[in-house]
Amino acid sequence: MFAICSLGAARSGMSQIKVDADAAVHLPAMVVPYSGYASAESKLEFLKLGQQIQQQEKARGIIERRKIQFEVWRPALTRIKALYPVESVPAMMGGVSTDVITPKGGIAPENKNRVLIELHGGGFIAGAHLFSLLESIPVASLGKIKVVSVDYRQGPEYKFPAASEDVTAVYKELLKTYNPRNIGIYGCSAGGDLTAEAVAWISQQNLPTPGAVGVLCGAAGGWSRGGDSAYIAQPLVGVAPSPTSDLGPYFAGVNVNDPMVQPVLSPAILAKFPPTLLITSTRDLMLSPAIYTHTQLVKAGVEAELHVWDGMVHAFFTVYPDIPETKEALDVIVKFFGKHLGTD
C-alpha cells in the first residue's frame, strides 16, 4: 500500500489517502461542498432531496412505493403542466397503452412528419403516468412535436423482455405512418436503459433503425463493472453507497450478459445504433455506465453526444422543473432530435 498526501490535505490535518495493492483507494472522512458550477436554484432543491428519499423508503411493497412516489413528485408534475401547455390523449398502439402528447400551440411545420417515443423512468417497477408525463410534456411543448409515451409492462408483474416487446409493438405501429428516420426514441433512468434495449430488440427483429435516440440518465449497460459512480454518487446525495448487481424484479433470472439486456456488451449491436444522445450528471449513479456507453458507441462508429452536468443528481431535469440546468438539458434534447430526425 502506498500513500498520497496533498499539501491541502496535510494543512487540514486529514489522514493520508491510501491506495492498496488492488488499486482500491482508501479515503478519509471529508466534506464535499455543493458544486460551484451549479445554480442557486438547484442547491435549494438538493436540500429537499434527503426528505424525498426518506419518504420513498417508507414504502412496503411495490404498490405502496408507486403510490408514495406519485405523492412525492406530484408538485413537480403540477408545475410541469402549468409551464408547458399540451394536449394528452390515451391511445392503444399495437396492443400497448400509450399517451399521445401534443403541444397546445400546434406541431411545428418541420415536425409534422416526425414523432418521438418516450419511455419513462422508475426502475422498471414504477413511473407510469408520473415520470412519463414529467419527461414527455416539456419535450412536446418546447420541441413542438408529437410525443407518444409508452406504458410498458414492468416488474414484478412482468419480466424481461416484456418492456422491449411493448416498445417494439408501438414502434411497428408508428412505422405504418412514419418514415423510420423520422421516429426518435428517448427515456430517462430505466427509460434510458430501455431505450438502448429497445434499439437492440428492434434490430433483432430486422426492423428499420429509428432516426435518433436519447439514452438519458441511463446507459446501454455496463452496470456490473462497478465504475467510480457506483461508490461516489450515492454519498454525494447523502446516501450510503450500495453497489449491487441486483437489477430488480423485472430482470429476475435473466442472463445479464445477454446483449439484449446490456447492448454495450456487443460491438456489432452498438454499430447499428442511430445518432445517440447521452445525458448524465456527476452525482448520478449512472454516470460511469453512461460514460462507458458513450465510449463504446464512438468506438463502434456511432455519432454520439455526451452531456454531463456538474453537481446535479440523477434525473434532475425530470423532477426539478424550475432550475436553470433543467432548461439547459431540455434545450439539448430538443435540438438533438431537431438536428437528427428526418423530415420527409
The tens digit of pLDDT for each residue in 299-333 reads 999 999 999 999 999 999 999 999 999 999 999 99
Mean pLDDT of 75-95: 97
Q: CA–CA distance from 54 to each of 5, 67, 119, 234, 282 (Å)? A: 36, 14, 26, 14, 22
CB-based contact 318:121 (threshold 8 Å): yes
Q: What pLDDT shows up at residue 50?
A: 78
Average pLDDT over residues 117-123: 96
Instruction: Pick the more confident residue, 49 or 182.
Output: 182
CATH number of this structure's domain 32-340, picked from the four choices 3.40.50.880, 2.40.340.10, 3.40.50.1820, 1.10.3720.10: 3.40.50.1820
pLDDT of 4 higher than 80: no
What's the rounded mean pLDDT across residues 185-207? 97
Amino acid 305: pLDDT: 98
Answer yes or no: pTM beyond 0.85. Answer: yes
Residue bearing cell 461508490: 231
User: Mind listing the pLDDT tens digit for each residue in 23-79?
Assistant: 999 988 889 999 999 999 999 999 998 788 777 777 777 888 888 888 888 999 999
| pLDDT at residue 13 in the model | 46
CA 108 and chain centroid, separation: 26
pLDDT at site 1:
55
pLDDT at 14: 56
pLDDT category of residue 240 using cuts at 50, 70 and 90: confident
Grid coordinates of 65: 412505493
Mean of pLDDT values over 92-105: 97
Strand pairing category for 183-188 and 147-150: unpaired
Mean pLDDT, residues 96-116: 97
The reported pLDDT for the residue numbered 2 is 54
What's the pLDDT tens digit per position in 126-165? 999 999 999 999 999 999 999 999 999 999 999 999 999 9
pLDDT surpassing 80 at residue 242: no
* 223 or 116, which is more confident: 116
Residue 244, pLDDT > 90, answer no
Burial of 143 (0-12, 13-18, 19+ CB in 10 A): buried
Condensed to tens digits (0 to 9), the pLDDT of residues 263-301 reads 999 999 999 999 999 999 999 999 999 999 999 999 999
pLDDT over 90 percentage in the chain: 80
Q: Which residue has the higher pLDDT, 57 or 121?
A: 121
The per-residue pLDDT for 222 is 87
Q: Is residue 200 within 8 Å of 269, Cβ to Cβ? A: yes
Question: Is-contact 58 68, C-beta < 8 A?
Answer: yes
Q: Which pLDDT band, with edges at 50, 70 and 90, does 6 fall under? A: low
Residues forming CATH 3.40.50.1820 domain(s) in the chain = 32-340
The percentage of the chain sitting over the pLDDT mark of 70, rounded to a whole number, equals: 94
Banded pLDDT at 258 (limits 50, 70, 90): very high
The chain-wide mean pLDDT, for the chain, equals 92
- Dihedral sign from CA coordinates of 185, 290, 79, 62: positive
